[in-house]
Amino acid sequence: MRIAVDIARPRRGDLVLSYAVTGCTRRLSLPAPGLPARGDELWRHTCFEAFLGVGSGPAYYEFNFAPSRRWAAYRFDGYRAGMRSAPTIDPPRLDVRADDDLFEIQVMLRPGDLPDVPDDAALRLGLSAVIEDTGGNLSYWALAHPPGAPDFHHSDCFALQLPAA
């Protein structure tokens, strides 16, 4: 199995993340897509994630996207501290496609609509995925992992620096 993510900034304030899982995807636990809706604890099953920080400050956002098209957005004041639902934002656009050898989820976010994320801000990104197989086993994927157990909130996972738009 292989997981890849493409990133684009088609307009100021927009961010498009295209996650692709290739290989024997029929062994993955992938619920059927439904209508987009907010949900919690999406990381307990197959879920694609983006952690977004601005500048060098400790605050960051966590976004979760499930194959079911459920999504979540949280704001943190610092490392796992001060977690709360992110301010009201437009739901991300979630497009899902699956067959026997490929699963794709494309997400269009508007982080520029968040009160503390300027439209043209340089971003620190942590991109990750939790993959559940049909036997209920979970695996954890990220651009970078800190030593020890998987911890996508750890600063080592914010491995991608996206320059200002």
Query: Residue 4 forms beta bridges with which residues?
Result: 20
Tell me, what's the pLDDT at 26?
Answer: 86
Tell me, what's the pLDDT at 113?
Answer: 84
Which one has a higher pLDDT value, 25 or 160?
A: 160
Which one has a higher pLDDT value, 72 or 118?
A: 72
Ranges of each domain in the chain: 2-162
pLDDT, tens digit, for every residue of 123-147?
A: 999 999 999 999 999 999 999 999 9
Query: Residue 28 forms beta bridges with which residues?
Result: 133
In this structure, the number of other CB atoms found within 10 A of the CB of residue 75 comes to: 18
The mean per-residue pLDDT over the stretch 84-104 comes to 89
Please classify residue 162 by burial: count the beta carbons closer than 10 Å to its beta carbon, then call 0-12 exposed, 13-18 middle and 19+ buried.
Answer: middle
Tell me, what's the pLDDT at 78?
Answer: 97
Query: pTM of the full predicted structure?
Result: 0.95
Beta strands, E only, the chain: 2-8, 15-22, 37-38, 47-54, 60-65, 70-76, 84-85, 93-98, 102-109, 123-132, 138-142, 160-162
Which residue carries 């620190």 as its tokens?
A: 124
The CATH number of domain 2-162, selected from 3.30.70.2740, 2.60.40.1190, 1.20.1250.20, 1.10.3720.10 = 2.60.40.1190
